[in-house]
């Protein structure tokens, strides 16, 4: 079984404030020209523990989708988006613009 070369994988975090951050991970194609997989997620500290509030992701085998953990029960929807750096950036910006609402929705379900 072939192991993925870690250089093709990059991840980072962006702090929104002390209790909220955006986690981003993506996997380049072998030629470094495109994205094969990615995750863009809002992680919040709620009731003294980290929780995933919303996640946009895709894999080599699965198309772009969103997990809304703030719904009760949590939901997953497929999106008509391409696997690209532009899409990753779009989701980062969406979380930056809407993280307060996402977090409030999550808190409301508790």
Instruction: Give the range of the structural domain holding residue 80, as residue numbers without chain letter.
Output: 6-109
Asked if residue 45 belongs to a domain, the reply is yes
Element (H or E) spanning 82, and its range? none
Considering only CA atoms, which of 13, 30, 50, 42 is closest in space to residue 100? 42
> What confidence score (pLDDT) does residue 17 get?
96
pLDDT for residue 1 is more than 50: no
Q: Report the residue count for the chain.
A: 110
Element (H or E) spanning 51, and its range? strand 49-58
Q: Name the domain count of the chain.
A: 1
pLDDT band at 80 (very low <50, low <70, confident <90, very high): very high
Quick one: residue 47, left, alpha or beta (phi over 0 = left, psi -120 to 50 = alpha)? left
Residue scoring higher pLDDT (6 or 100): 100
pLDDT for residue 5 is more than 60: no
Alpha-carbon dihedral angle through residues 80, 83, 88, 94, given to the nearest 10 degrees: 0
Asked if residue 1 belongs to a domain, the reply is no
In tens, the pLDDT along 11-69 reads 999 999 999 999 999 999 888 888 999 999 999 999 999 999 999 999 999 999 999 99
pTM across the whole model: 0.90
């Amino acid at each position: 079984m072939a192991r993925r070369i870690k250089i093709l994988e990059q991840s980072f975090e962006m702090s929104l404030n002390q209790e909220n951050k955006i986690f981003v991970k993506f996997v380049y194609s072998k030629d470094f020209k495109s994205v094969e997989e990615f995750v863009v997620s809002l992680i919040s500290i709620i009731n003294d523990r980290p929780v995933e509030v919303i996640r946009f992701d895709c894999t080599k085998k699965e198309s772009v989708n969103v997990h809304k953990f703030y719904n009760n029960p949590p939901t997953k929807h497929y999106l008509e988006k391409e696997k690209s750096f532009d899409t990753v950036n779009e989701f980062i910006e969406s979380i930056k613009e809407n993280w307060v609402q996402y977090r409030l929705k999550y808190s409301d379900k508790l």
